[in-house]
Structure 1
Amino acid sequence: MDKYKIILFDLDGTLSDPKIGITKSVQYALQKMDIDEPNIDKLECFIGPPLQVSFAEYYDFDEVDTQRAIDYYRERFKDKGMYENELYSDIPLLLKSLKERKYTLVVATSKPTVFAEQILKYFNIDQYFELVVGSNLDGIRSSKTEIIQYILDKYDEHRLEDFIMIGDRKHDIIGANNTGIDSVGVTYGYGSFKELSDSNPTYIINSIDEIKDILLASKVK
């Protein structure tokens, strides 16, 4: 039998590369807040964490300005940014293979659930996921710890040992550690090797192929 049964996937930087859509939407929001940032590469730090955290951390916005910035961000993201996104080429084959092996696949993202569901449909990979869990539009349940715990509660007939979280940022690993499940840090996304290793994941990998290798290697007699 397989050691893991329920595989949690982060979305941004793990299933797809959302750089253009996210950074240009952040750039748009900052312009609306009278801040000019011409270099979108400097905005990669917004890929992964909740927007509430990033606007406050990187631009020192208070709660009111943070919400204004998020509202501006979503103006552009809903219209254009959501689709300025590229699925990593090996992901569909990986998901198909895992589904055929009877793994339960779940998306665990800090992105609002409604946006995540639309993106999965846009890429035609929604068919592989039994559940999609993100944040609410009002910011409730935005931390990865809360999101993972919500999923664990949904599958409360399973043991913690049945779950594994796969993501590219420290927030994914910290959320997994806080909830007591294993994790995989992927370096092909937007978190550095140091960021991931400092967060103490169960595994660190460099390619999508290695995800399948880890799951196959987890088979126990």
Structure 2
Amino acid sequence: MSKYKIILFDLDGTLSDPKEGITKSVQYAMENLGVEVPEIHELECFIGPPLQVSFAEHYDFDELKTQRAIDFYRERFKEKGMFENKLYPNIPSLLKTLKENGFTLVVATSKPTVFAEQILKYFTIDQFFDLIAGSNLDGTRTSKAEIIQYILDVYHEYEAGNFIMIGDRKHDMIGAHHTGIDSIGVTYGYGSFEEISQSKPTYMVSNVDEIKDVLVGCRVKL
């Protein structure tokens, strides 16, 4: 039987493909700031990391401009962007199988909790999750390490070895390393094979079905 009890899922790029909604909302923010609007494919880097990090890193925005960009982004995202989104194939059946096998499922996302809750409800997969842990709208608890630590504190009766983080970007693996838990790096999302492998996940998978193999099968660690 698996030693894992609590399964942490990243949302964007792991449970669902949010490319259209996120990139169009970033474009909207840039338009409102009078900044040249990049092509959608150039904005995939915004999928996964906290917006505070992405706007500062990729456009060298200072703190004030970053917050203005986030405000414009959320203006469009709340209205339509969060629903310009689609589940990856076999996600509902994976979640159902994991619940039937006794796992506790948690969402661990840098997206604000309030948005994550609405997206999961939109896809009608919210019933599979015991906890949805994201960032706060005031810009706090945005790093994946902080979010994972919050979840560990909620389930304090379990050992670190009972948790595993599943995600598609290096931030998910780094957060897992910092909090002392195992991880599964998925390569079907928005992190490249190189990004995932260099961040040293416990396991690597290329599709949703392989996640099930790790958790209820007999897949060995890397």
The DSSP-based 3-state class of the residue aligned with 2:14 is coil
Structure 2, gaps ≥5 residues long: none
Residue 130 of structure 1: CA displacement? 0.1
Paired position in structure 2 for 1:147: 147
The CA RMSD measured in Å over matched residues stands at 1.2
Q: Are 2:178 and 1:178 aligned? A: yes
User: Which whole-Å deviations, capped at 9, do the CAs of 1:119-145 have from their partners, x for residues lacking one?
Assistant: 000000000000000000011000000
Find the residue that maps to 1:166 and give its secondary structure: strand
What CA deviation, in whole Å up to 9, does each residue of 1:66-94 have, x standing for no partner?
00000000000000101000011210000
Corresponding residue number in structure 2 for 1:88? 88
Q: Post-superposition shift, 1:112?
A: 0.1
SS of 1:133's equivalent in the other structure is strand
Contact 1:164–1:181 (Cα < 8 Å) also in 2 = yes
Code of the aligned partner of 1:54: S
Alpha-carbon distance in structure 1 between the residues aligned to 2:87 and 2:216: 23
Q: Distance in 1 between matches of 2:38 and 2:62?
A: 23
- Other-structure match for 1:169: 169
Quick check: 1:4–1:218 contact (8 Å CA) kept in 2?
no
Give 1:169 shift.
0.3
- Note the C-alpha offset of 1:33: 1.1
Corresponding residue of 2:205: 205
Cα deviation, residue 200, structure 1: 0.8
Shift of 1:38: 4.2
Matched, 1:30 2:30: yes
2:8 counterpart SS class: strand
Partner of 2:74: 74
Q: Which letter maps to 2:8?
A: L
- Residues 4 and 163 of structure 2 are in contact (CA less than 8 Å); yes or no, is this contact kept in structure 1? yes
Instruction: Report the identity percentage.
Output: 73
SS in 2 for 1:20: helix
1:131-162: per-residue Cα shift (whole Å, max 9, x none)? 00000001100000000000000001000110
TM-score between both structures, scaled by the size of structure 2: 0.97
The TM-score with structure 1 as length reference comes to 0.98
1:38-87 deviations in Å (ceiling 9; x for gaps): 41000000000000000000000000000000000000000010100001
Q: Identify unmatched segments of 5+ residues in structure 1.
A: none
Distance of 1:90 and 1:175 partners within structure 2: 26
Task: Note the alpha carbon deviations across 1:87-130, whole angstroms, 9 max, x for none.
Answer: 11210000000001110000000000000000000000000000
| Superposed displacement of residue 3, structure 1 | 1.2
Aligned to 2:101: 101
Tell me which residue corresponds to 1:193.
193
What letter is aligned with 2:63?
Answer: E
2:16 counterpart residue number: 16
